[in-house]
Structure formats: structure tokens, C-alpha cells
Amino acid sequence: MSVVKNFPSHAKPYQATYTNGSGRGRIRKIKSFVSSKDAQLWLKQMETNFINGETYAKSQMLFVDYFQEWYRLYKASVVSPPTLDSYHNSWRHFKEHGLGHVKMESLTRDKIQTYLNDLAYAKETTRKDLNHLRACLRDAYDDGVISRNPAAGTLHVIADPAKSKSKDRKFMAETNFRKVQDFLLNYNYRLSDVNRAVLLVISQTALRVGEALALRYDDLDQLNCTIRVDESWDAKHLMFGKPKTESGYRTIPVSRQAMKKIITWQNFHRRELFRRGIPNPGNLLFLNRQKNLPRASAINSCYHQLQLRLGIEAKFSTHTMRHTLASILLASGEVSIQYISYFLGHANVAITQKYYIGLLPEQVEKEDQEVVKIVGAL
């Protein structure tokens, strides 16, 4: 039995109900629409699907099997290899942590929250899993595979604190960061210092590690003091690809002092590779003595060693340079959030605001003092 009811006070007033069978084997699906026409079209599609057995069969699939089929069909051809890997990782987490034997029709909000509670991964990992699950179930609901979307309501990301970065590990004090920049700008680089040279560029540009490693000689514009970003190195798949987002294509300005140092590195690097007979047909700026691009883990280790050398607690990753630079720019009051988002290569300003902008330690101390002064005057 199929019926469309009108609830004028609802945002989507036309509620379509599709029912097939009776008793314990009855299938019932409900969906709301803005127009009566859309509701009728959906009911016809449901009838066709159930006649063919397609929708019912999918509702009986295990969630992990449906999710795998979904991301291979709808994501594999349109996302980058690293992003596709993240979907595969989510599938593996679902399978291994409580959702491996749950059918699509049996998936509930309670089961999803239990999964999130028990996952015990870093906050960012758990957030990605939830986003992937929600996207999959949205499509399943739209296609009539499930009669309601159990992920549409409130769900809480529960992270393992030991695996998540605390705020004091995301933002280096500006005074310490300036020490890092000064050291890198005044260091006398050798070919064995490729990792440190990568840090030099990132400390001035806030590039992602993959973006920095993909730089070539002709990406440097000495006259205009800019660096072009139009590629990213995918270390896992050993390939060059597009930047992480469409906004990742950008041109970054640097100071004349920084450009002079980077050009000095480029000229030395080119000569030294030639002298040693190391081919560099791609004119890569950071090809090392082993004829490879350095690993991100090696660059991170190099950064930790540098922090120790400068008397800084070695708790900051290379990626925190992006967080710190973004906060320094915002704190200056002279750079708009829109430009900072462009500078970082973010897809939109909301990402910049949510994940990157935070109070530097000096700002926290200053604000603490202001609060005490104001409250004490009451």
C-alpha cells in the first residue's frame, strides 16, 4: 500500500509511505518531500525497486558490505587516492569495531553511538569515520534502502585523549616559532639538509608537507617573491597528484629575505646534484642524495630535533606550523580570515575557523590578565 499525506506545518509537508507485505515480513518506508509530485515519483520508484528486488536486497545487506559497495561506486572515481584510503580505513574500522555484523535495516543511532564510544581513536580519525558513515546513510535513505536515517540525529565524537592533540601541541608560542624561522633563514644548508630545507619553506608558507615536496625549480618566482602551488606528493602511492582541494591551487607570497634563501638553496641543490651525477629530470626542489623525496616522518623527526636544539619542548609536528602561522596572521589584525583561508589552501573559510584558528599561548596569557583586571574591577 502506498499513500501520500499532507502536513502543511512541516518544512516538507508531503509524507510518502510505502508498505509491502504484512506481519513480520512487512517492509515499510517513509520519506518527506516538498512537493506532492516528488512524493508520487518516489513511491513509483519504490514499487519498481521492490518488484525488481533491488531495494529490499540492499536493506538486508550488512552495513559494512553496503558501505564498501557505496564508496567504490560513488567515490573511487572522483576522489584522490589518499582520500579513497580514508574511506577504506573507515570501512575497516566499522568492520572491526562493532558494526561488522549489523544489517542495513537494523542499524540504529544507539548502535552508531556505541561504535563511536568504543572506537578509542584520535578525534580526527573518529570524525572522518562519522562523516563517511553519514554520507553513506544519506544516500541509502534517499534511495529508499532504509526507511529512516539513523545518523541524521545528534551523534557525539568520542576520542581517546592520548591519541588526540591537545591545544598546547597545536600552537607553538610565537616567540619560539620566530626562533625556528630565524634559525632556518640563517642556516648554511648542505645536500644532507634536505629535510631542514623543507622546513624552511613550510615555516614561511604554511604549505602542507606534500605540497612542499612537490615543488619544482620553476615554481619559484624570484622577481615577484612568490611560490606556485599546483601539485602534491602522495608518499603512500609514490605519485604526484592535485592539491588536496581545488583551493589548493594558489600562489604564496614570501619575504625577499626568504626568497633569497630559497633561491640560494635551489642553485646549490642543482649544482650539487649535477656534481654527484644524480639525475633530477623533474627539477624537484627537494630530491635527496638517495634520488628520492624525503619521507614526511623524517621531516617531522628533523623538526623535533630542531626544537630540542633551540631549547623548545619537542612536542610540535611539522603540521603545527600551519596552525601557528594561521593564528599569527589572524592575531595581527591586518589579514582577513578569507585571505588566511586562501593562504592555507582550504576549501572554505569554515574549515579555517574550525580547525586552524586558535589562541597562541601569548594571547591566552594576555586574555587571562584582561579577565582578572575586568573581573577585579567589578
Number of H helices, E strands in the chain: 15, 8
The reported pLDDT for the residue numbered 19 is 80
What is the C-alpha to C-alpha distance for residues 170 and 163, in angstroms, rounded to an integer? Answer: 13
CA-CA-CA-CA torsion sign (91, 124, 239, 230) = positive
Q: Are 61 and 104 in contact (CB under 8 A)?
A: yes
Tell me which H or E stretch contains 212. Answer: helix 209-213
Name which of 44-53, 251-260, 268-277, 358-367 the model is least confident about.
Answer: 358-367
Burial grade of 197 (CB within 10 A; 0-12, 13-18, 19 or more): buried
Q: What is the CA radius of gyration of the chain?
A: 26
Q: What is the mean pLDDT of residues 323-333?
A: 87
Q: Which residues contact 274 (CB under 8 A, 6 or more apart)?
A: none
Instruction: List pLDDT tens digits, range 197-248.
Output: 999 999 999 999 999 999 999 999 999 999 999 999 998 888 999 888 888 8
> For the domain 63-163, what is the CATH superfamily, name and number?
Tyrosine recombinase, N-terminal domain (1.10.150.130)
Distance (Å, whole) CA 241 – CA 260: 28
Q: Note the pTM of the prediction, 2 decimals.
A: 0.71
Is the pLDDT at 357 greater than 70? The verdict is no
Given 2.70.98.10, 1.10.443.10, 3.40.50.1360, 1.10.150.120, which CATH number is that of 168-363? 1.10.443.10
| Residue that is written with C-alpha cell 620553476 in the block | 218
Question: How many other C-beta atoms are found inside a 10 Å radius of the C-beta of residue 209?
Answer: 24
